[in-house]
């Protein structure tokens, strides 16, 4: 099943998600550098990276929702998509709270709470990235019309499709 929202023949959501993910994860790396050096420039850069990452995440989410409307109810792809959406939304919300706490405080000298929220947000990014990868890599959502929307988990060790090339190689 192909994604709905496309640009020049490619789904827009997977084009956009590397930007907010990269910005938000990098913001946490810069928070760690700030904690190690106490150089406020690193905290200031993290502040702006979070702002850009949250905005980018919101834009990417719009196209994710558009694509999700094509995933049929009752399929494994639908339940994985729900988890992906909830975790992605939570990740963006956690980073947004981290940013707001920095904004109302001192952006160049964040307390431990905004930094811990960034760590939580980064952990959610890893989880939501796995679920997004499961949708695309394993289930084929947004990739091709013959997507196998009920393929077993990639953690199961079972082939995604009966009669697949991988299964034939195992025989």
Contacts 24+ apart (CB under 8 A), 14-17: 14/136, 14/142, 16/56, 16/59, 16/60, 16/63, 17/60, 17/64, 17/132
CA–CA distances in Å: residue 12 to residues 36, 54, 75, 134, 167: 38, 17, 23, 18, 32
Query: pLDDT tens digit string along 26-79?
Result: 999 999 999 999 999 999 999 999 999 999 999 999 999 998 988 889 999 999
Domain boundaries, given as residue ranges, for the chain: 10-143
Query: pLDDT tens digit string along 84-120?
Result: 999 999 999 999 999 999 999 999 999 999 999 999 9
Please report the DSSP string for 70-123 in residue order. TSPTTSHHHHHHHHHHHHHHHHHHHHHHHHHHHHHS-TTS--HHHHHHHHHHHH
Model confidence, pTM: 0.84
């Amino acid at each position: 099943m192909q994604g709905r929202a496309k640009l020049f023949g490619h789904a827009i959501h997977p084009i956009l998600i590397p930007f907010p993910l990269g910005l938000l994860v990098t913001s946490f790396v810069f928070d760690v550098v700030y904690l190690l050096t106490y150089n406020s420039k690193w905290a200031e850069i993290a502040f702006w990276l979070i702002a850009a990452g949250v905005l980018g995440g919101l834009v990417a989410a719009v196209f994710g929702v558009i694509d999700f409307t094509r995933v049929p109810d009752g399929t494994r792809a639908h339940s994985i998509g729900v988890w992906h959406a909830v975790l992605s939304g939570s990740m963006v919300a956690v980073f947004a709270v981290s940013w707001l706490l920095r904004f109302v405080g001192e952006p160049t000298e964040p307390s431990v709470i905004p930094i811990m929220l960034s760590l939580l947000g980064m952990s959610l990014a890893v989880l939501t990235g796995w679920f997004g990868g499961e949708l695309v890599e394993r289930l084929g959502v947004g990739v091709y019309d013959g997507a196998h929307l009920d393929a077993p988990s990639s953690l199961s060790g079972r082939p995604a499709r009966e009669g697949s090339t991988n299964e034939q190689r195992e025989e």
